[in-house]
Structure 1
Amino acid sequence: MCKNEPKCAQCEGNHYSLDNQCQVIKEYKDQLKEDVEDVIQKGLLQRLSLQEKSPMFELHDQDFPPLTTSDNHSKKQWNIAQRHTTVESNFLRSSDTEKAFESINDNLAKLIDIYTSNVNFWQN
């Protein structure tokens, strides 16, 4: 049964497993520190020195120029001719979408009518 009390998986003490009061964790950290110091002294590993603080970011207009409104439709991307869209073609596509939604709504209304009439039939 859960008592909502921490229990260390390392030493089964009444603290969390990675808590600094755990003797097993203390020993592990001490050994790791010794091993790192040993490797550094042998020259197999080097400490990185802290460098100067990085400069603050400055936004310059030339770094992010505004997008132009040139006609990009004539450019080919990956050697594939891009479709030239117009206001009319966008309108036709939105009109097709509206028709599809109307058809779906009509079909759903019919199904609802059938369902409710069947429910009414079985209830009587």
Structure 2
Amino acid sequence: MMDDRYVEALKAIAEPHRLRLFWLLLQINERICVAEAMDVLGETHYNVSRNLKILLKAGLVRAEKDGKWVFYTLEKKDDPFFQSVATAVRTIPESQFKDEIKRCRLRLSLREDGRCVVGASSPEWKEITRSKTV
């Protein structure tokens, strides 16, 4: 009988919003909190949290609490299956996600000492997105 972790990983990234989130984490190779992901992806807290929890349960990301924020990063697995999944997702052309990359760079620029300091839809985020074309 097949190990469920393989099925769970593939099911997790089969949903478009989770695929976008996983792809973004692969591209930026940095930790990201729910508030940052909300602003980057333009999704609700509920949706981002739920999707990150599914990716976490599938073993594709890990969670780390830092102050009042929970940051999600890629799970560093030496397992050939998980490496292949990550490689496959990385091959999706950046052109498919150019808005997300641009918004992510802007959102991460609001960090202080590598830490998220503003919540989702903050005045700082609204100001930076109003002044830049995203």
TM-score category by the smaller chain? Answer: under 0.3
Larger radius of gyration: 1
> How high is the TM-score relative to the length of structure 2?
0.22
Q: Larger strand proportion, structure 1 or 2? A: 2
Q: Larger RCO: Structure 1 or Structure 2 (Cα < 8 Å, ≥ 6 residues apart)? A: 2
> How high is the TM-score relative to the length of structure 1?
0.23
